[in-house]
Amino acid sequence: MSQAREQLASQAREQLTHWVCALPVLIVCVVVLADLAGGAGMIWLPLLAAGPALAATTNGPRGVLSTGLLAVVLGASLGTRDRVPGEELAAVLSALVTVTLASGLASVLRGRRERVLAAVRSVAETAQHALLKPVPATVGPFQVAVRYSAAAAEARIGGDLYALIPTPYGVRLIVGDVRGKGLPAVGTAALVLGVFREAAYDEPDLLAVVERIERSLARNLGADDFVTAVVAGYPGSGRLEMVNCGHAPPLLVRRSGGRLSVEPVEPAHPAPPLGLRALTGHAPGLQVLPFADGDQLLLYTDGVTEARDRGRAFYRLGEGLARHACEEPSRTLDALHAELLAHVGGRLHDDAALLLIRKPAVPVIAG
């Protein structure tokens, strides 16, 4: 379904691009028709310059020069037909040539900027795939879905982070939020994910994984920097281990007696954000909760819960999850993400990450 929507959207964008590229020629034609209908002579001829001027924003240099040449030829023909004095017609045609040349130069510069931007976006997309690696639809015993949106669409990546990997000690995952924005936040996110991926394979104890991340951040972060995060693991036997380091509580979805419940998993042992333990001296504790067949767990960052509408009302994630929860995590997050964007009017003002896992009653075989 999502691929079909993307194809339709791509076709619509291509059709719109064709119409936009043809718009400068249509404007020239409208000016010509207006002159032929009104016989107004010099009144309409200067408006022919709108064609090549607009072409600079929609076409390449060839399109601009072609539109300008068309405008000059038609302008000369109309001026001769309407018996415009030679000096006045020459001034109009000279202006059309000047506008065409200037528009052609502007089109060249615009093309260069677009190529640079495309290269930057390509690098950003590569960095995103290296930092936030795509998560498959099934990991271990879980169905999984992830949605990530950077506040700056051009950046593709930001300070929110997530990872979910199978290890010798069961599936382990992390969702976190780096304080700050921009490249420093991206660098910190990369550091956290790198340490997590290594420690998750090496350490049998989930608290030891968190300790490894804490020590690394203590060596590399500034005094005012920190990372809020939830680190979780599923060692098996229907139980989920969790360590919450100053992060928003995950939402646990369960169905009991035909009724769906969505409850926040408040930390039993509150701990400071990663990187701040030295200031508090408070070590995190391990929280264990049952996680049976059919249960779901949604982890997220504050870019979701702090998203506001025009009336400054926050998005109610728990209520949205209760409305849209189903047996397919990808469909659930598609609906949540669409509702979130509608709530904020189409654009988020902070990075936002959603990671949903579900333990099906029948094990899913990855295809």
pLDDT for the residue numbered 3:
44
Phi/psi for 157 (5° steps) reads -130, 160
The pTM (predicted TM-score) of the whole model is 0.70
pLDDT, residue 365, reads: 54
β-pairing, 227-236 with 239-245? antiparallel
Give residues with Cβ within 8 angstroms of 125, minimum separation 6.
156
Q: Of 48, 25, 54, 22, which Cα lies nearest the Cα of 35?
A: 48
Cite the residue boundaries of each domain of the chain with CATH code 3.60.40.10: 135-358
Is residue 218 classed as helix, strand or coil in its secondary structure? helix
CATH of the domain spanning 135-358, picked from 3.40.50.150, 3.10.20.600, 3.90.1150.10, 3.60.40.10: 3.60.40.10
- Give the pLDDT means over successive 10-residue stretches in the chain (367 positions): 47 59 82 74 75 84 87 84 80 88 89 80 62 85 90 62 94 91 77 94 94 91 85 91 94 86 90 84 86 94 88 91 92 94 84 92 58
| Residue 42 pLDDT | 57
CA distance linking residue 237 with residue 174, whole number of Å: 20
Name residue, tokens 């600079």. Answer: 56
Cβ neighbors of 25 (< 8 A, separation 6 or more) are: 51, 67, 70
pLDDT at position 232 is 96
The contacts of residue 201 (CB under 8 Å, 6+ apart) are: 165, 167, 168
d(CA 286, CA 228): 16
